Structure 1
Amino acid sequence: MVVTDGNGRVLFCSPTRPGSCADITQARQSGLVQLLADGPAVDILADAGYQGLGAQTGGRVITPPHRKFKKNAPDWYEEMHERQRKAHSSRRIRVEHGIAHLKNWRALARHLGRREHISDIVQAVAGLLSHQQTADLTSARQM
């Protein structure tokens, strides 16, 4: 699970866990739901894997719209759903870019080492990337 700011800079990267786990389950187990429910008012733009967290966090987790019609949807509904989905995707693109920056690091793109070490590697790369993005921001402000 990766959290970025509005500009796509990495703020947090959760430790990895062995095996597969649904996004929403990992958010619950890591305490994100409780933190958002009790913490400061921030909006989280999430993908469809987090649908349902909005109700548990007081609307702070914003996910793409859920399809109400599986089959034979009216034309007006298809158009509305597509507009909402594109609007969410347009707001979320910077988050995806932040995640892509992590995946571009060779240590993560081609991990050939032991699985026990991947969590430490992810945390190290996230820290380096965050530092690099902060340094780039500082140098841009000085110019």
Structure 2
Amino acid sequence: MFVDRLLVTLVYLRLGLPHAALAELYGVDRSAVSGAIREVRPLLASRGFAVSDRPGLRIRTLEDLFAYADAEGVELRIDGTEVQVRRPRAGRPGRRAFVSGKKQQNTIKTTTFSDDQGRTLFSGVIRPGRMHDQTAVRSEGVAEQFRQHPGVRAKVDEGYRGLANEFPDQVSAPPKKPKDDAPLGEHHAWRERRRRQSSARICVEHTNAEYKQWRPLQRFTGRRETYAETHLAITGLVSDRSAQRATRRKPSTELVLARQTAC
């Protein structure tokens, strides 16, 4: 039955158990488990990403994402994450492409887009670990989407400084550190602006942490060719759950009198 194949695939995506272990658990042949996963995983990957308060809407492409953010006035949060993968065999072309300069491991990089509540809107832009975050988003056409949608705003970290320099009115990166000989007041102001920007952006890092609760996105031991499909399937499922979270009310920063003073 399709429901049984779906359950096997969900268990595999959540726990990352070997196919042989799943076959023993469900009392079937290993080939049946592998076939079920190959059948159901692409269906889950093609579902797209759920949107809060829009039950019938699914975001499947970057074009969908920016059109939605522009229409609804959603300020995006953008951040990259890496997942360790198996090292390519010696002699294969492009073997060094997966070596991450940051982690010194073989990884695959992805880029996450969330709203200001940390709810997944899109996750993709899948590239080998050696590629810089900035290069990855440019090669996927993110910069072009900012040009086509000048009303879209986003907050990013230092890794997307070039994007912030190109679109200063749309993309907010951490403020640049003042020179060492600058007045002490400038350093205090810089730290406070940096703290505020980080506080507004950190929700997307929490979104990436949600993905890492799924075993295959902690360390992917399957074939690298299937990583993109696995990633999209898992993040789409995470978006279904995050879209159900109620929108938290933002506390006002406007100063008000605690009590009326007599003249």
For the superposition of Structure 1 and Structure 2, which TM-score range results when normalised by the shorter chain? 0.7 to 0.9
**Are 2:20 and 1:20 equivalent residues in the alignment?**
no
In the alignment, which residue of structure 2 is the partner of 1:137?
Answer: 245
**CA offsets, 1:78-109, max 9 Å, x none?**
21111111010111121221121112211201
Backbone CA RMSD of aligned residues? 1.8
Q: Which amino acid aligns with 1:4?
A: S
The equivalent of 1:87 in structure 2 is: 196
Structure 1 SS opposite 2:117: coil
- After TM superposition, the runs of 4+ consecutive aligned structure 1 residues lying more than 4 A away are none
**Which structure carries more helix by proportion?**
1
Aligned counterpart in structure 1 of residue 217 of structure 2, from 88, 108, 115 = 108
Aligned-pair identity (%): 34
* Distance (Å, rounded) in 2 between the aligned partners of 1:23 and 1:68: 25
Question: Given that residues 15 and 122 in structure 1 are in contact (C-alpha distance below 8 angstroms), is that contact kept between their aligned partners in structure 2?
Answer: no
Is the 1:108–1:122 Cα contact (8 Å) retained in structure 2?
yes
2:84 is aligned with 1:11: no
Aligned to 2:165: 55
Which of structures 1 and 2 has the larger relative contact order (alpha carbons within 8 angstroms, sep 6+)? 1
> SS of 1:17's equivalent?
strand
Indicate which of 104, 116, 119 corresponds to 2:228: 119
Q: Distance in 1 between matches of 2:143 and 2:215?
A: 32
TM-score (structure 2 length as normaliser): 0.48
Show structure 2 runs of 5+ residues with no match.
Answer: 1-110, 247-263
Q: Which has the larger radius of gyration?
A: 2
**Aligned-partner Cα distance in 2 for 1:55–1:12:** 23
Once residues 23 and 60 of structure 1 are traced to their aligned partners in structure 2, the CA distance between those partners, rounded to angstroms, is 18
Q: Which residue of 1 aligns with 2:156?
A: 46
Between the aligned partners of 2:148 and 2:210, the Cα distance in structure 1 is: 30
Match of 2:174 in 1: 64
CA contact (8 A) 1:27 1:33 kept: yes
CA distance in 2, matches of 1:30, 1:39: 16
Q: CA deviation at 1:58?
A: 4.9
